[in-house]
Structure 1
Amino acid sequence: MPAEWEPHERTWMAWPSAGYTLGETAADAEEARTTWAAVARAVARFEPVTVVVTSPDVRIAREHLGTDSPHEIDIVVASLDDAWMRDIGPSFVLRDGRLGGVDWVFNGWGGQDWASWEDDARVAELVTDVAGGAHLPSTLVNEGGGIHVDGQGTVLLTETVQLDPGRNPGLTREDVEAELARTIGATTAIWLPRGLTRDYDSFGTRGHVDIVACFSEPGTVLVHWQDDPEHPDHEVSREAEAVLSAARDAKGDPLRVVRVPAPRTLADDEGPVDWSYINHLVCNGGVVACTFEDERDDEALAVLRAAYPGREVVGVDARPLYARGGGIHCITQQQPAVPAG
């Protein structure tokens, strides 16, 4: 599985069309559509975007997505339950100059009682087929937000996702690692003990790594750093940093760990927030990053600019996404470019 900073063919997304993602009111629905479209248009500054849209929503999706982006935003029509493409779509891989799409078993983030996934479970195969890749089914219940790779054989993951009894009852670390080696070529797994606290609430994923830590280049990991001891993620950050600082990558080298400050905002009406600047998407020549109208936005974006030199960092207000259970990385999935020749 290539690293996210390697060249892309395009980015895939899914359009919010039903349920809690749209919300209970017309205003909620407009907020969701406007935010998903803002992310798509930000990504399309750097590379093409394809959005999977249900048939009844094609017209309204096109109105929001527009036709004036530097790169095309096209639409593929299919049935959907939800709009988190990182999790329902394939994890793309390259082998011998050919594209493949790993199709994890998707069961609604561990069989959450509010989730439906009959349509979403078919999205990875559909996207892979449209992309012209080989369909690579896996027996592992997993989501794209539950892994992060360096493109050289190292994968980050959390014990509470892949070892979740609601996902993979009875599997051991060794079982998970064997399947990750088979599917995405990961030879070294770095297990974080848990995700951010809010991610264990009703609409959470039970610990996705892509709001906790990510690689920014081989040998360097960015980690969410909550420095306020009043927030429960203060201890989560300390644990994650300790594990990463002691780890070695697939080449046997120690990691350089870079703290990315958490927003100053500690809580909303539902409790401690899990707002995270880690949940960004690296594009061709750019980075599309979460912002929160928070005093830490500028500081965090400066860290990302230093982490990805030569790329333009663009912020999009991600508060409506986090209110629905995720961020920018969660609603996007990069398709790597197949090397010429």
Structure 2
Amino acid sequence: MEIKGTPEQHGYWMPAEWESHSQCWMGWPERFDNWRDNAVHAQRVFSKVATAISNFEPVTVCASPAQWTNARSQLPPNIRVVEMSMNDSWFRDTGPTFVVNKSASGAQNLAGIDWNFNSWGGIDDGCYKDWTLDVRVARKILEIEKVFRFPHSMILEGGSIHVDGEGTCLTTEECLLNKNRNPDMTKEQIEDNLKKYLGVRKIIWLPRGLFGDDDTNGHIDNMCCFVKPGVVLLSWTNDKSDLQYERSIEALSVLSNTTDANGRKLEVIKLHIPGPLYMTDEEAAGVIQDGEAKPREPGTRLAASYVNFYIANGGIITPQFGDEKWDNEAVRVLKETFPDYEVVKIEGAREIVLGGGNIHCITQQQPAIK
């Protein structure tokens, strides 16, 4: 079901995350060299996330043959569990980027972009040395759903882009211009490909992502996201001694001095980060370090951000890190920002960030077609 040419040539574009979904896709964690204590804590939180989302829209969780029975036993019956091999469970980055178009009759069609993937940086800089299973995840999902596929040789992860559905894309130079992704492509070439594949007309480049987000080299979904056209949430800190402060100020300057694809000035809502939070000795000791995955060292600053939430059909699924002050503040800001949505708190989301991401990173929305 491969389509020749680019999505743009066939009239496809990437919808905003707040547009209606037919379902959400997730993977099931099991890597003992990334998730502590054989992933039992991470699996419990992944189950919480999947269950919360399933109250708003259908959810499919993909689990390896060795983990299918375990995943099925931990998830409620209304969640579909599909057997699928994978290297790890970051479906925002390994799953397809779904796009839609509109036929002459007005009906919509669905397709998916199957980007190339190199474990966030390849053999030297990536998070694990073997990603041969992950590179097939997007194609498998599209075949399960019998959805048209646009293959692309450019290396790109879904967490590195965020769109408003009206022609604007947010990303970071720190990630997309990193030489461990597409060293032979210029900024202009990367931008041109984003426009052709996402159906956008303008790219807003933030210089850097969240401080400490070394696994992904600064994915945008930890730093900034659209909440509606013309409005973004930005990871923020009031602490001038925090190394994140400079990055937030830098991003605010860019966002305050640009417009979206339709000429609107952007409204920036600040969403304070937790902590700072650091990996404990106990947490690091629970990870079996065998040299196949990126080391998890005690004292490492965790890339924790409340921007890393998921927008479901009528629900905001948001991480809580055990930092009461900023957990509560994040919920307040999100309720104010999304007055028509139910904000659902996921306690224990620290377990996900220990592995290198959060709720947005482990989910991938499939748009509903009208």
**Does 1:6 find its partner at 2:19?**
yes
**Does 1:330 find its partner at 2:341?**
no
Q: Which moved more, 1:260-269 or 1:325-334?
A: 260-269
What SS is found at the alignment partner of 1:288?
strand
Aligned to 1:227: 238
Q: Which moved more, 1:115-124 or 1:327-336?
A: 115-124
Partner Cα separation in structure 1 for residue 355 and residue 366 of structure 2 = 25
Aligned to 1:143: 157
Q: Which has the higher contact order (CA 8 A, sep 6+)?
A: 2
The correspondence for 1:193, drawn from 207, 222, 231, is: 207
**Does 1:94 find its partner at 2:100?**
yes
TM-score, normalising length from structure 1? 0.93
Deviations 1:206-250 (A, max 9, x none): 110000000000000100001112221111111111111111101
What SS is found at the alignment partner of 2:234?
strand
For structure 1, list consecutive stretches of 5 or more residues without a partner in the other structure: none
The correspondence for 2:342, drawn from 298, 312, 337, is: 312
Partner Cα separation in structure 1 for residue 267 and residue 33 of structure 2 = 39
Q: Identity of paired residues, percent?
A: 42
- Alignment of structure 1 residues 27-106 onto 2, 5 Å: 28-67=38-77, 72-96=78-102, 97-106=108-117
Deviations 1:262-317 (A, max 9, x none): 11445444243321100000000100001111121111111111111210000113
Q: Which moved more, 1:286-295 or 1:269-278?
A: 269-278
- Alignment of structure 1 residues 181-330 onto 2, 5 Å: 181-200=195-214, 204-269=215-280, 270-294=299-323, 295-316=325-346, 317-330=348-361
What SS is found at the alignment partner of 1:293?
coil
Aligned to 2:194: 180
What SS is found at the alignment partner of 1:198?
coil
Aligned residue pairs total 329
In 2, are the aligned partners of 1:142 and 1:161 still within 8 Å (CA)? no
Partner Cα separation in structure 1 for residue 315 and residue 252 of structure 2 = 26
Partner Cα separation in structure 1 for residue 279 and residue 153 of structure 2 = 38
Deviation at 1:22, TM superposition (A): 3.3
Partner Cα separation in structure 1 for residue 256 and residue 233 of structure 2 = 11
- Alignment of structure 1 residues 117-136 onto 2, 5 Å: 117-136=131-150
TM-score, normalising length from structure 2? 0.86
> CA 1:244 to 1:78, structure 2 compared with 1: closer, same or farther past 3 Å?
same
For structure 2, list consecutive stretches of 5 or more residues without a partner in the other structure: 1-13, 103-107, 281-298
What SS is found at the alignment partner of 2:34?
helix
Q: Which moved more, 1:142-151 or 1:294-303?
A: 294-303
Partner Cα separation in structure 1 for residue 152 and residue 88 of structure 2 = 21
Partner Cα separation in structure 2 for residue 266 and residue 325 of structure 1 = 13
Partner Cα separation in structure 2 for residue 113 and residue 155 of structure 1 = 26
Deviation at 1:195, TM superposition (A): 1.1
Q: Which moved more, 1:226-235 or 1:146-155?
A: 226-235
In 2, are the aligned partners of 1:20 and 1:324 still within 8 Å (CA)? no
Deviation at 1:59, TM superposition (A): 0.8
What SS is found at the alignment partner of 1:21?
coil
Partner Cα separation in structure 1 for residue 250 and residue 148 of structure 2 = 38
Deviation at 1:21, TM superposition (A): 3.4
- Alignment of structure 1 residues 152-171 onto 2, 5 Å: 152-171=166-185
> CA 1:126 to 1:251, structure 2 compared with 1: closer, same or farther past 3 Å?
same
Partner Cα separation in structure 2 for residue 217 and residue 330 of structure 1 = 20
Aligned to 2:5: none
Partner Cα separation in structure 2 for residue 82 and residue 113 of structure 1 = 10
Q: Which moved more, 1:258-267 or 1:275-284?
A: 258-267
> CA 1:319 to 1:248, structure 2 compared with 1: closer, same or farther past 3 Å?
same
Q: Which moved more, 1:329-338 or 1:128-137?
A: 128-137
Amino acid at match of 1:325: G
Amino acid at match of 1:278: V
Partner Cα separation in structure 2 for residue 210 and residue 222 of structure 1 = 10
Partner Cα separation in structure 2 for residue 245 and residue 2 of structure 1 = 24
In 2, are the aligned partners of 1:90 and 1:128 still within 8 Å (CA)? yes
